[in-house]
């Protein structure tokens, strides 16, 4: 298993809500940013996958477990790794930590689809070659 991709980020006001904590939907926002940064670090970009291979990556399902709240100014670490790779699907584990403490865990299912028909398509070799669960 390869090392997870690490994204460190601070919690800003727009991430929080009046409960004083990170708004629960925003963990999916963090997760999408981490996936984009991860793909970018592997030399992959949505725009280039679309132009070169006529495919899009879409989120099929997401499961989130909220363990403890994060608050304003927290420095969080998001660990992203592929846990399973199918012909046109990919399962990711994306876990958020504050120091040693687990804040939340996310299991994300991505699907590679044809950019025109939106039907499942096989991952391009450009993707398959760089992602090893």
Which residues of this chain interact with a second copy, rule CB under 8 A? 10, 12-14, 16-21, 23-26, 28-29, 32-33, 36-37, 45-47, 56, 58-66, 71-73
**Cβ atoms 76, 70 nearer than 8 A:** yes
Please confirm, yes or no, whether 65 is among the known catalytic residues.
no
- Residue number, 2 or 12, with CB nearest to a second copy: 12
Q: Which residue among 17, 52, 65, 73 is the active-site one?
A: 17
Q: Which residue has the tokens 């096989």?
A: 122
**Cβ atoms 80, 133 nearer than 8 A:** no
Report the first-to-last Cα separation within the chain, whole angstroms.
Answer: 6
> Smallest distance, Å, CB 52 to a second copy?
15
Q: How many residues does the structure list for the chain?
A: 133
> Smallest distance, Å, CB 107 to a second copy?
9
């Amino acid at each position: 298993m390869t090392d997870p991709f690490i994204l460190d980020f601070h919690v800003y006001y727009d991430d929080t809500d009046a409960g004083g904590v990170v708004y629960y939907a925003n963990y999916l926002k963090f997760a999408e940013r981490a996936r984009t940064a991860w793909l970018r670090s592997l030399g992959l970009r949505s725009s280039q996958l679309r132009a070169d291979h006529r495919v899009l990556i879409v989120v099929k399902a997401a499961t989130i477990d909220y363990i403890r709240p994060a608050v304003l100014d927290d420095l969080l670490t998001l660990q992203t790794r592929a846990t399973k790779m199918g012909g046109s699907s990919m399962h990711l584990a994306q876990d958020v930590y504050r120091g040693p403490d687990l804040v939340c865990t996310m299991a994300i299912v991505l699907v590679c689809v044809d950019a025109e028909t939106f039907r499942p398509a096989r991952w391009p070799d450009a993707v398959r070659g760089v992602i090893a669960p």
